[in-house]
Structure 1
Amino acid sequence: MESRGMKKWRPFATMPEQYIGLKEMMNKQAEVAQPVLTEEQMEQINFTLIEALHTNNQVYLTYYKKGQCLTETGFIQFVDSLGDVFIFIDEVFELKNKMRLSELVDVRMA
């Protein structure tokens, strides 16, 4: 005779479809609206990006994506204020990421 061991119990998630539906509902409840930045905040973000580009300093980027505010660490490689884009290299995987300036919420020097 064998013991069943410890089993995790997930109430209301007995069927995989239920579990997927519950996860989607919880994600929707955790969503936040995109913060609206003032003109002064946008100028400060732009100034910090340009400074980080010229000094090659590491920055903490907080951006809005799919209902969440995410933070990443990396180095700025290119900034185009008129085209509303910038490119940064993340610290973890050293990959180039192209992002819109309008998605940025906050930029801080590390």
Structure 2
Amino acid sequence: MQNRGMKKWRPFATMPEQYIGLQEMIKKQAEVPQPFLTEEQMEQINFTLIEALHTNKKVYLTYYKHGQCITGTGIIQFVDSLGGLFVFIDEGGKQTNKMRLSELIDIRFM
């Protein structure tokens, strides 16, 4: 008698196209709508951004991207309020991320 391994636990993934389609459906079901921010919350985010830029303190960022709320830590490097963009460097200093201010949901000091 030979063990079939994982084959018996994956009945719906017999065709690669079918597996990809199922993964996309699961991903779409997990998406959340972008949270709405009040004027007061946007003002608080703006003050915190400017303070973090001038003091070079690390911050927790929560932003909305591709149907998900993502949390990360980093240092604010540049803020362009007229263009609606900001740049932050992740905690390890490995990656520079350029984002829209409209994607930012929350920012807090560490």
TM-score (normalizing by structure 1): 0.90
Deviates more, 1:87-96 or 1:44-53: 87-96
| Alignment RMSD (CA, Å) | 1.7
1:90-101 → structure 2 map (5 Å cutoff): 90-92=90-92, 94-101=94-101
Deviation for aligned residue 1:83:
1.3
> 1: distance between equivalents of 2:14 and 2:4?
19
Task: Please name the residue that 1:7 is paired with.
Answer: 6
Q: Deviations over 1:36-76 (max 9, x none)?
A: 10000001011111111111110111111111111111000
The separation in 1 between residues aligned to 2:30 and 2:95, in whole angstroms, is 28
In the alignment, the residues of structure 2 paired with residue 59 and residue 10 of structure 1 have an alpha-carbon distance, to the nearest angstrom, of 42
Specify whether residues 93 and 18 from structure 1 end up closer, same or farther in structure 2 by C-alpha distance, changes over 3 A only: farther
Q: 3-state DSSP class of the match of 1:7?
A: helix
Identical columns (%)? 74
Q: 1:6 to 1:28 in 2, by over 3 A?
A: same
1:48 and 2:48 equivalent? yes
TM (normalized to structure 2)?
0.90
Distance apart, 1:6 and its partner CA? 3.8
Aligned length: 109
- Structure 2, unmatched stretches of 5+, are none
Structure-2 separation of matches of 1:92 and 1:24: 31
Query: What one-letter code is carried by the residue in structure 2 that aligns with 1:24?
Result: E
Unaligned runs of 5+ in 1: none
